């Protein structure tokens, strides 16, 4: 697998075409002249050196100037030559996976599955990291289309606002027109008529099951740690959490849903704040990821409380350090998801009619949950 990271240069994704232009027309009607850095400089009304500095991100540039440059980049559908050179190894037959990061086990395991299956199919695999920036993701998809990668696999949570949906829909059509395939991995479909294949986990079902596990152990005040409204993964997991209460006829307190990013530091900080507000407010915690749970466990122990004697906690994903801290969690078949994405991408299935593929999940019971007596 060849790792690729375009840095801040990746913010060159295209925006909706301006009146009288069609930057994606080349994908449908034939090759067009490549937009150069001089074109961007002229469009933005700045020097070529300023454009270079604004895109590199390693030299001080006035925020207003940088915005002008990035706007010109989007409007002209410009791809910096550095990207093309970095991705020149991407020839027909390459499978590209675009992930938030490879520093977390969740993405690394899926990427490993992609690499293994791509190798088994005789394909080169490329990994692109976005840092969670949708502009970088869009830029990678654009560049992979120009490099004629056989498939582009997008992994993980995304905010599906109207602008993103419109732009990614255009990109999906452009990829299909160039003979490539777009696979959405662990994220929802883009909508009817969009040529994209979808494979993912049953996030809602897994969250329902782990919440029901806590409820069956007698817990009623269950803190949900990891609320991120608008993010697809968080939305599906909190939906399962809420549904478990409703299906069992148990009242749920929305005040127990706590905002938190999907990283250890955020889990630690959010848990520390909730404990400062009063540890008696809840008896159990459902952390939206195992990494969040690890941070929460540290905060709970620093507060002088014991797991599970004082507070029970569960996670989601079944990645390190879940086993090390004895965390009850939802297991996801990460590697199989990556393999399934490649098999789907290289299949002859029609992306306009093929229904989403959903892989099942299951609970791994360890030592982090205590059954409550009838008096609590």
Most confident of the following: 89-98, 122-131, 206-215: 206-215
The two counts, helices (H) then strands (E), for the chain are 13, 13
- DSSP characters over 278-295: -GGG-SEEEESSHHHHHH
Average pLDDT over residues 2-20: 39
Percent of the chain with pLDDT over 70: 86
The tens digit of pLDDT for each residue in 304-363 reads 999 999 999 999 999 999 999 999 999 999 999 999 999 999 999 999 999 999 999 999
What pLDDT does residue 340 have? 98
Question: Is residue 333 within 8 Å of 304, Cβ to Cβ?
Answer: no
What pLDDT does residue 81 have? 60
Name all domains of the chain by residue range, CATH numbers in brackets.
2-11+86-195 (3.40.50.2300), 203-332 (3.40.50.2300)
Q: Rounded to an integer, what distance in angstroms lies between the CA atom of residue 272 and that of residue 163?
A: 36
The tens digit of pLDDT for each residue in 23-65 reads 444 444 444 577 888 899 999 999 888 888 787 765 677 888 8
Q: Rounded to an integer, what distance in angstroms lies between the CA atom of residue 347 and that of residue 358?
A: 17
Run of H or E residues at 235: helix 232-247
**For residues 192, 92, 135 and 176, what is the CA-based torsion angle, rounded to 10 degrees?**
-20
Q: How far apart are the first and last CA of the chain?
A: 53
Identify the bridge partners of residue 129 per DSSP, sorted by sequence position. 99
Average pLDDT over residues 241-263: 97
Model's pTM, two decimal places? 0.75
């Amino acid at each position: 697998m060849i790792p690729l990271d375009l840095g801040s240069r990746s913010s060159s994704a295209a925006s909706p075409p301006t009146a009288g232009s069609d930057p994606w027309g080349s994908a449908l009607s034939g090759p067009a002249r490549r937009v150069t850095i001089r074109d961007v400089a002229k469009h933005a009304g700045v020097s070529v050196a300023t454009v270079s500095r604004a895109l590199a991100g390693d030299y001080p540039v006035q925020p207003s100037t940088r915005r002008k440059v990035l706007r010109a980049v989007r409007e002209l559908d410009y791809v910096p030559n550095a990207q093309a050179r970095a991705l020149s190894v991407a020839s027909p037959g390459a499978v590209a996976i675009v992930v938030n990061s490879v520093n977390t086990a969740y993405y690394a395991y899926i990427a490993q599955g992609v690499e293994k299956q791509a190798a088994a199919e005789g394909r080169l695999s490329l990994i692109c990291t976005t840092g969670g920036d949708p502009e970088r993701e869009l830029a990678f998809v654009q560049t992979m289309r120009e490099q004629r990668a056989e498939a582009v696999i997008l992994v993980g949570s995304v905010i599906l606002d109207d602008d993103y949906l419109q732009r990614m829909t255009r990109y999906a059509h452009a990829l299909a027109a160039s003979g490539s395939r777009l696979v959405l991995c662990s994220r929802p479909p883009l909508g009817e008529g969009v040529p994209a294949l979808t494979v993912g986990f049953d996030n809602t079902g897994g969250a329902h099951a782990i919440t029901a596990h806590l409820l069956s152990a007698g817990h009623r005040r269950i803190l949900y740690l990891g609320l991120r409204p608008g993010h697809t993964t968080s939305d599906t997991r909190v939906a399962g959490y809420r549904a478990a209460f409703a299906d069992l006829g148990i009242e749920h307190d929305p005040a127990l849903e706590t905002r938190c990013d999907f990283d250890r530091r955020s889990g630690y900080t959010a848990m520390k704040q909730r404990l400062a507000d009063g540890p008696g407010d809840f008896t159990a915690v459902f952390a939206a990821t195992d990494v969040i749970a690890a941070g929460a466990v540290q905060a709970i122990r620093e507060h002088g409380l014991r797991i599970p004697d004082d507070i029970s906690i569960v996670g989601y994903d079944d990645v390190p350090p879940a086993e090390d801290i004895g965390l009850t969690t939802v297991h996801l078949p990460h590697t199989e998801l990556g393999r399934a994405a490649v098999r789907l991408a290289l299949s002859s299935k029609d992306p306009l009619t093929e229904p989403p593929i959903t892989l099942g999940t299951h609970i791994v019971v360890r030592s982090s949950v205590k059954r409550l007596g009838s008096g609590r």
